[in-house]
Structures are given as structure tokens and as C-alpha cells.
Amino acid sequence: VEASDDYLDEIPLMCGGSTIEMDENDQLMRERKNRYGRHKGIGYFLSEGWWDMCGSCWKKMFGCCCGEKEYRDRTIYIGLATGHQHKYTKNVVRNQKYSVITFIPKVLFEQFKFFLNLYFLVMATSQFIPAIRIGYLYTYWGPLCFVLFVTMCREAMDDYRRYRRDKEANSQIYKKLTRDGVVNVPSSNIKVGDLIIVEKNQRVPADMVLIRTTEKDGGCFIRTDQLDGETDWKLRLAVSTTQRLQTNADILDICGNIYAEKPQKAIHSFIGTFSRTDGTPCEDSLSIENTLWANTVVASGTALGAVIYTGRETRSVMNTSKPQSKTGLLDLEINTLTKLLFFAVIILSIVMMILKGFNGPWYRYLFRFILLFSYIIPISLRVNLDMGKAVYSWMIQRDKLIPGTTVRSSTIPEELGRITYLLSDKTGTLTQNEMVFKKLHLGTVAYTAETMDEVSAHLRTVYNQQQSGGGTTPTRQSGPVRRTVVTKVYEAVKAIALCHNVTPVYEDVEDGGDRSHETEADQQIQQKVTYQASSPDEVALVAWTEDVNLTLVKRDLSSITLRNPLGALMKYQILQVFPFTSESKRMGIIVKEEESGEILFYMKGADVVMQQIVQYNDWLEEECGNMAREGLRTLVVAKKVLTEEQYQDFESRYHQAKMSIQDRNVKMQAVIESLERDLELLCLTGVEDKLQDGVRPTLELLKNAGIKVWMLTGDKMETATCIAKSSKLVSRTQDIYTFNKVTDRTEAHLELNALRRKNDAALIIMGDSLQICLKYYEHEFVELACQCPAVVVCRCSPTQKAEIVKLLRVHTGKRTSAIGDGGNDVSMIQAANAGIGIVGKEGKQASLAADFSITQFSHIGRLLMVHGRNSYKRSASLSQFVIHRGLIITVMQAVFVSVFYFASIALFPGFLMIGYATIYTMYPVFSLVLDKDVSAAIAMTYPELYKELTKVQILPGTNRLVTERLTKGRSLSFKTFFMWVLISIYQGGIIMYGALLLFEEEFIHVVSITFTSLILTELLMVALTIRTWHYLMIVAEIFSLGIYIASLYVLKDYFDTKFLQTWDFVWKVLVITSVSCIPLYVLKYLRKKFSPPVYSKLAP
């Protein structure tokens, strides 16, 4: 134990099987999880506790009435087989938030969970009671109904778009195989047990087992980019029993059944069996290789599948979160401030009631006081903020420097200005997912893109000698050094061309000619070829061998065919393949050359494992480091020549290990390792994964802005690590801590302790290890990870991505953003405070589900630094000014009531109050949405300005790991709020007391003086608040002043027009307005001179 106060080291490790120790551990874990939720108190209840309580009660009631959905395994009968078929969920895609019945209740519930709207509802409803009515009904119900109407229209439009997208997906037509032939059915009518034909480039409508395919080798490729984010095609194999049938229709004449495990989220695993009971009974084991998951796309041939899961039981839907209504932090903060203002109204009303005396129906007077002071919370606040959000969204979409940007959720643009954590996908987001072969190193010589012609020349030399009978060794005229290099190049390129899992896919080129006389190889020359593999690295390597004229022509399950530089075909029989795994970090293949009968064992993998396998050398480690510094992904290639006796001995032992029931994988790996000894090192390859344009400077910009970037990817650890380095997410001088694989609590504990001892190290962790850590040490892991400058999570499922986002939100209380471009990123995007989707090669699913859609990653810099920052600062300024507008009128009302013997009567008529909040001051106040403190260029040049906006939060009851006290850069905080309260008290008091001191014989003169002074004060305060003038601001000021002056002569019931034309009116208004405003102008000047804001020092 390093430190006695470190709670991680205080946790007892589970070294034995003691029940007592287990109970103590569970108790400590429960206490840790509850530690941060004990002191929520009344603040938490008022802010969000009551809402959580209502939601919890609703879920329990719904669960009791409807019951929980229980998933179960199933048997699907094929052909003539019969049995009891259970009723399963419908194959319907539904992303809507509302139905026709639930729309109004849900929208109203979402709106009235905010204290602001609930407060106005109570105030408006009270006006139906004659005894406490103080104005016309329309003055209360009109604004409230307008706010609700605008909200409902916006929600209805958004949900209608979702409905149209769902309808399009549900109405897609598929071919269904029946006894009456092939019939067309819409996707929504597909049921479990149906036999569905999926054409090439068609989306798979439900989870299916691949029964047959038109491909000769019984396999077909699928694209899974919308499921797991990987753009590489995956090979799927048809059930061998049904693939051997002559036609699809023959399936209807057999007796078979498919056993499928119960639905689950795991997209990379499946357990099932196919059994045939007629004729000779047989049984095939089914795995992930035999499945077609929903939302994948068939990329080659035509597939026939048996549906096993539909609707919400499919892997795709189970890994997708339901859309949630998002509320911005600014809205929550304003909601908290409105609660404070409500308490102020209650206290002020009680004070007035005490001073008045509890005589007569005091409770009626108390409620009238509350109504009189209700203007302290102006309902126009909600209207102004919603209109402001619409303007910000319009500005974002009109920005020519980030073309194609779309705002799909116009309610949270301010969230872009408060982001602390950005969680990013890798494939298609940070990278283009285009691998390019960059370097071949042979130990004594290296070849780059500029010298690849030499490689091609060396290959041609070797094959010319082979054709002339000279073997593989060059002639002596080349000299010994030349001969050695040529041989090394030949062996290296041949190894790269054979050691892979790549399959060439051909597409016919329509030339209209008769090609019946051509051989298969000649036809393939005329066809367009694309390479497909489980990794883009593999494709890049094989594409490079084609560039140097050693071409992969054909590959199936048993053979590989190459074409050499002279055009001759070379055939190799595949004897064994050892696939790449994250544990082994290498792949191998044993092939037999048909012409010579030579048996070759090739292997390639990561340098960390291959160094222990290959023969001693003095260059591999150094060159691997050099390539890594260049941002290249390295693979070490080696070979071993086997005799027939050696292979037969290996094959016998390997088959015996495969048939073992106990520890099968361990025994198989042990046999393989017996072969992996003293391999000859052939070469080192370097492949570059192209980054998206502008990724490096954008990540640097985000770091300087105080935003921590986490990369969540479903890719391998080696790939993710390389991209983290090449993108500068992890700097060259930064240490990297690779979290070792953990399987239980003890291992997780030890790894977390090791991580805690690392300072300023980037963290790289696998998804399964992350799951163990979160199961036992959720808070500790998040705390340690948040201290890392960068975090990379590999092999991360879509559900895990969403869970990580939610954990950061809960444990840190900070605002999160998630960005991705694939269907596997949808859950993460929806879980974040601000979800950003990229329209890319993987389709538009992420873009459509996101709050904001951009066309490339580099646009996020301007989206956050400029638009996010401006949106937040403008809304903060606007909301505080609208609150000030309500506060000042409430202060004036309080002074008026106290002077006139605490009579509960209104100072201004209802029509003037509506005019005050609308036509007289609305335009100048709303023009604050055009204000800005710095130019866009400065905001991008100095991202540190953004950091000031994310320092604290003021929400009560929020759990945080670290609380910072700095609030200088915040535009909305308790400090700025109370400053505006003091300004309102001062100005309201000055205006009201000034008018009463200069009071004459007519009360209408008091109304004229106070209301005119109030309007002028508000217009001058807007001018005082503005930092950068826009011509529309000047227009708004002049227009509002002109409207007010004109209305003085129109509203003769409220103003004495003769008095308005006297100097007595003019000088009193000027004096009162000057006293209320000039001191504030002086304070602003002094503050700017002696304590200027940071941005003023950067202004050009």
C-alpha cells in the first residue's frame, strides 16, 4: 500500500473464496457507489429529484401492467418439419418519440417538468378565480399558449421526419420463398422462420442464418459498417448441408430445424445448430460466420436466409438506444435561477403581508401579492431563448466555412459552447480508412514509394530466371550483393502475396464481345477486381503486390492463385490458416506449391510477438521504432520451409487438439507454437492509414481549448494505437499505458493501481477489460481515466460507447459530445449532451440521429470555438437581460405598493405590461443574439477563450470529481446573476422613488414619467451591454423608441398627451433616466480600464 488515504489500496483483494471476504468487498463497493449520492438534499429534489421520482414511479407502474420483456432461445422449423412456433415481435423499425395518442401528454409533460413553465401555468390558472384576478386572462394565457404552440409545432415536425424515415425502412420490398413460389413482402411483414432472398447491395431486413448463396464456394461477403463501424467486408458461410442442395426450392422439401440462442447484444458471437432429420440425420454447428445481422448489406452474390430474430430482438436494435429529449445546461441553469426568483417572490410577498397586517382574508391578499410580483419571472424569457436558438441554428447552417452543416436539434446549440469531453469514433471520423503501402524494409535495404519500380524489376529478374531454368537464384553476373537483394525481395513479396485472408471479387466489364473462348484467367483480366478482407491493412498489402506485378487472381477455401510478372499462373494449395486474434497478434498460413510440392509456413504479426519467434537479428526493433515514429502501421513477415514429414506430424497433432472437448483453444495454440520456432525473418512492412483532412490541427485546437478527446473504436488495439499516435491524439513525448487484459476483480484492482501510479500517461484499454472495471470499480476507473490526457477504448461495442458517455455525464457532471459517422455510433451520439454526426462513406444513419451534422471532422473546431461559444454567451446575456427586465418592474411594483399602504394593486395596466415585454423592448433586447466579444478569427486563434466557459456548473445536486472555483470567464453564474439583481434593485428604486419625489397632483403623470423612464433605461442598458455593434442593433433601438413615442399619442387612456408636451415631463424623465444609467456606464469604463476581460486584450 502506497498511501493510507488512497481508497483503491484500502480495498481488500479477493485472494480466496471466503464468503465473508466477498460480502465485505460487496459492501465496500456499494458504499463507494453511494458516497457521491448521499448529500443531495433539498437542492437535488427541487432541481431534478421530483422528476426522477415521477419517472421511477411511471416505470414501475408500466412494468407491473405490461410485464418485462423476456428473451428466450428458439427453434425454427425449415421445410417439411413441423413444431410449435412461438409468436415473436414484429419486424417493425420505430424511432418515433410520440404516437397520435401520446403526443400532447408527452410534450406537455416534457414542458411542465421545467419549473419556469409550471410556474406560469399556475399563475395563469389562478386568473380564473375572480377574487385574486389582477388583470385580463389574455395577458397570462396568451404568452403561455404561444410558447406551448411553438414547442409542439417543432416537436411535431421533428417526429414527422422520423416517421417518414421509419415508413421508408418498413416498406422496403423483399423476396420471400414459399411453396407457392417467390412472393414480395414488405420488411414489416417478415416473421421468424421466413426464408428471405437478399440480393446484392440490398440491406438485410432481420437477423438471419445464411442458408444458401449463389457463390460457388458457399460464401458471400457482407458490409457491416452500419453495425460495427468497420468498412471492410466480412465473409459469411452458408450452412454446408443446405448449400449442397441443387436449388433454393429444394429447401422446402427437407425436414430441418435451426436452434438459435436467445437474443443478445453481442454482435461478434452466435451459438446455434442446424439439424436435418430426414434421410441421413446430420447436424451442423452454427457460429457468427453463418449469420446475416439486420442492417448489414450483402456485397456479393445473392443470399437466402432463414429469419431467427426480428424487430427489437435484432442485434442492431438491441445495440441502439431510444432517442431521448435533450435539455441544455443553460436551460437547467436558468431553471435553477427561476426557482431562486420564485423564492424571492414568496419572501417579498410575505414581507408585504406582514407589513400590511394579517387582517381580513389575508391569504387572498398574499396570493395577489404573489401575482403582482410574478413579473419577476418573465414568460418572455422562454420565447426569447427559443427564438435565439433558431437564430443560432440558422447562423450555423449559413456558415460558408463549414459547408453542409445541418442543425437537427435546434434546442441545444448552447451546449456546443460547454463541452469538456469529446468522444470520437475512429473509422471514417478521424481516418479515411484508406490504407496505403509506404515502405518495405529488408534489413539491409528499404524501399519506399519512390523506389517500388526496383522491386518490380527484381521480381521480373527472378521469374525470368525461373522460366529459363535457372531457379530462383540470380545469375552470377549480377554480383553477390545484387543476388542477395534480389532473392530477399522475391521471398518477401511472395510471402506478402500469400500470407493473408484477402479474396478478390470480380465485376464484369460490359464490352459486348463474345468471350466464350477465353479461359477463366483471361476473363478475369478483363474484369474489374476489388479486394475484400477483414482488415484494410491486408487489402493494402495485396494491392501493393499487384502494383509490383505479383497479382492475387483467385482465392477460395482451399487454394490461392497468383499471376507473376510474366503472366504465368502459380497455384498454391491452402493446408492450414491461423487467423489473427487480439491475443495472438499474428496470423499464419501453410501452403503447398502445386508445381514443386514445396510446403511453406508463412507468418506475419506485430513486432512485439514476432521478435520472439524469428531468428536473431540486429535491425528489427530499431526499424520498427523508426516506422512507428513516421506514423506507419508495421507488420513483421517471416517464413519456414517444412518437409512432408514435419507437416504430417503437425497436422496429426493439430487435428487431435481440435477434437478435444476440454481446453480446445489452449491445446490448439500449443501445437501452433511448436511450429513457430526459428522462423526466417523476411521483411518489415509499413502501411499508412490516411487521416481525414485537418485532423491533427483540429485535435490540437481542441486540446488547447481544454477539451479532452476520447477515441472509442471497434477496431484492434494495434490499429487504434497507431492512429492515436499519427493523429497526435497522443503526442510523441507522452507515455502510453496499455491496460492489460483483466478477467476478474483482482486483476482489475491491480491494473487500476498500476494506472494510478502513472503520471500524464494516455490510457489504452480493450472493451472487455473496460466492462470488468466498470462492474467492480466504476467510479475509481472513471476518476483515473479522466485524469489521463487522452483515452483510447478498443474493441468497443455500440452499447459500450453509449455507456461510457453516460458514465462521464454522471460521474463528472461535465458536458459531453460524441462524434461518429456510422450506424454503430448512433447510441453514443444520442447519449451525449451534443451528438455530432458526419455524413460519410458509411451512410447517413449517424448524421440523421445526431443533433448536429457536419461533412468532415475538421469542421468541429469552428462549430465549437465560434458557434458554440457565441451561442452560449449570447443566450447567457439575453436570459440575464430578460430577467433584469422582469426584476426592475417587480422592484418598482414593490416600491409602489409600500408607498401606497401595501394595497395589492398594479402599478401599470395590463396592456402596458404586455407592450413593455414585447413591442417596446423586445427588438433591442433580442438583438443581443447578434452580439459577440471577439471575431471568429480570434476565437479560432486563441482556443483558450473556450476553456473559460467550461470551468464550473451551478446545478445543485450534481456529482463531480473535481469542482473548480474559477468563474471569471463564465457568462452565466451566481455571481453575474446577483450583479444583475443589484442593478435591477438600484434602477427600479431610482425610477420609482424619483417619480414619487417629483410627484404632482395627477397619478397618470406618475405612470407617464415612470414608464417612459423605464423604457429609456432598458434601451440604454441594451446599448451598455453590447460589445460589438451590428447595424440591426441600431435599427432595433431606433425602431423601438419610435414605436413608443408614437404610442404615447395613441394610448390616450394611459397617458396625458398635454403633459407629455411640457418641459416638466421631459426634464423629469431625463433626470431619472440619467441617474439610473450614468453610474453603470462609469462602472463599465472603470472595470474596462482596471480589470479588463481576457478577450479585450486580444482584440485587434
Specify if 923 maps to a domain. Answer: yes
Average pLDDT over residues 406-435: 87
Question: Could you tell me the three cell numbers for 906?
Answer: 398594479
Q: What is the pLDDT of residue 470?
A: 56
Average pLDDT over residues 1001-1022: 87
CATH code at 875?
A: 1.20.1110.10
Rg, Å, the chain Cα set: 36
C-alpha 1057/C-alpha 1075 separation (Å) is 25
Residue ranges for the known binding site for ATP are 425-427, 538, 580, 604, 633, 713-715, 795, 801, 824-825
How far is residue 533 from each of residues 449, 486, 541, 627, measured CA to CA in Å?
Answer: 23, 29, 11, 24
Residue 698 has pLDDT above 90, yes or no: yes
Burial of 246 by CB count in 10 Å (0-12 exposed, 13-18 middle, 19+ buried)?
Answer: exposed
CATH code at 584?
A: 3.40.1110.10
Specify if 278 maps to a domain. Answer: yes
Q: 842: pLDDT confidence band, cut at 50, 70 and 90?
A: low
Instruction: State what percent of residues in the chain have pLDDT above 70.
Output: 85
Q: What SS3 class is residue 1033?
A: helix
Average pLDDT over residues 828-835: 91
Specify if 11 maps to a domain. Answer: no
Residue 530 has pLDDT above 50, yes or no: yes
> Which positions ≥6 away from 950 have C-beta within 8 Å?
418, 419, 420, 706, 707, 814, 815
The listed range with the strongest mean pLDDT (44-53, 89-98, 369-378, 760-769) is 760-769
Q: What is the pLDDT of residue 965?
A: 38
Q: What is the pLDDT of residue 984?
A: 93
Q: What is the pLDDT of residue 967?
A: 43
Q: 109: pLDDT confidence band, cut at 50, 70 and 90?
A: confident
**311 and 356 share one domain:** no
C-alpha 926/C-alpha 917 separation (Å) is 11
Q: 421: pLDDT confidence band, cut at 50, 70 and 90?
A: very high
Residue 113 has pLDDT above 90, yes or no: no
Last residue of a domain, one of 642, 658, 687: 687
Residue ranges for the known binding site for Mg(2+) are 425, 427, 821, 825
Residue 661 has pLDDT above 70, yes or no: no
C-alpha 87/C-alpha 68 separation (Å) is 16
Average pLDDT over residues 997-1026: 85
Q: What is the pLDDT of residue 522?
A: 55
**725 and 682 share one domain:** no
Average pLDDT over residues 876-892: 91
Q: 32: pLDDT confidence band, cut at 50, 70 and 90?
A: very low
Average pLDDT over residues 1008-1015: 92
Q: What SS3 class is residue 738?
A: strand
Q: What is the pLDDT of residue 323?
A: 62
More confident of the two residues 383 and 230:
383
Q: What is the pLDDT of residue 474?
A: 42
The pLDDT tens digits of the residues spanning 443-454 come to 889 998 888 899
Q: What is the pLDDT of residue 16?
A: 36
Q: 852: pLDDT confidence band, cut at 50, 70 and 90?
A: very high
Closest CA to 900 of 357, 358, 356, 365: 356
Q: What is the pLDDT of residue 561?
A: 94
Question: Could you tell me the three cell numbers for 266?
Answer: 453481442
Question: DSSP letters along 846-894, please?
Answer: HHHHSSEEESSTTHHHHIIIIIIHHHHHHHHHHHHHHHHHHHHHHHHHH
How many distinct structural domains can be found in the chain?
A: 5
Residue 570 has pLDDT above 90, yes or no: yes
**900 and 1032 share one domain:** yes
**532 and 647 share one domain:** yes
**Distance of alpha carbon 703 from the chain centroid:** 18
CA end-to-end span of the chain:
55
> Which positions ≥6 away from 619 have C-beta within 8 Å?
443
Tell me if residue 52 is catalytic.
no
**715 and 789 share one domain:** yes
Pairing of the two strands 173-178 and 195-198: antiparallel
Q: Which domain holds residue 1002?
A: 325-411+863-953+966-1097
Residue 321 gets which letter from DSSP?
A: P
Average pLDDT over residues 760-768: 90
Residue 46 gets which letter from DSSP?
A: I
Average pLDDT over residues 828-845: 81
**344 and 375 share one domain:** yes
**337 and 303 share one domain:** no
Q: 19: pLDDT confidence band, cut at 50, 70 and 90?
A: very low
The reported pTM is 0.72
Specify if 960 maps to a domain. Answer: no
Grid-cell match 510474366, residue found: 566
The listed range with the strongest mean pLDDT (317-326, 471-480, 819-828, 1090-1099) is 819-828
Grid-cell match 485532423, residue found: 695
Last residue of a domain, one of 653, 687, 721: 687
- The single residue of 159, 225, 425, 607 carrying the catalytic annotation is 425
CATH code at 260?
A: 2.70.150.10
Residue 28 has pLDDT above 70, yes or no: no
How far is residue 366 from each of residues 125, 352, 756, measured CA to CA in Å?
Answer: 16, 8, 59
**508 and 617 share one domain:** yes
The listed range with the strongest mean pLDDT (92-106, 485-499, 846-860) is 485-499
Question: Could you tell me the three cell numbers for 547?
Answer: 502494383
The pLDDT tens digits of the residues spanning 959-1003 come to 443 334 334 446 788 888 999 999 999 999 999 988 888 765 667
More confident of the two residues 538 and 840:
538
C-alpha 196/C-alpha 204 separation (Å) is 9
Last residue of a domain, one of 687, 705, 733: 687
**532 and 660 share one domain:** yes
Average pLDDT over residues 505-532: 59
Cβ atoms of 408 and 851 within 8 Å: the answer is yes
Q: What is the pLDDT of residue 821?
A: 84
C-alpha 29/C-alpha 835 separation (Å) is 32
How far is residue 999 from each of residues 511, 889, 985, 1007, 1015, measured CA to CA in Å?
Answer: 99, 19, 21, 10, 19
**Amino acid identity for residue 818 in this structure:** A
**696 and 722 share one domain:** yes
Q: How many helices (H) and strands (E) does the chain have?
A: 40, 33
Average pLDDT over residues 564-581: 90
Average pLDDT value over all residues in the chain: 82
Residue ranges for the known binding site are 425-427, 538, 580, 604, 633, 713-715, 795, 801, 821, 824-825
Q: What is the pLDDT of residue 520?
A: 52
Query: Secondary structure of 756-794 in the HEC alphabet?
Result: HCCCCEEEEEEHHHHHHHHHHCHHHHHHHHHHCCCEEEE
**623 and 716 share one domain:** no
Q: What is the pLDDT of residue 683?
A: 93
Worst-scoring range by mean pLDDT, 29-33, 185-189, 333-337, 624-628?
Answer: 29-33
Residue 47 has pLDDT above 70, yes or no: no
**194 and 275 share one domain:** yes
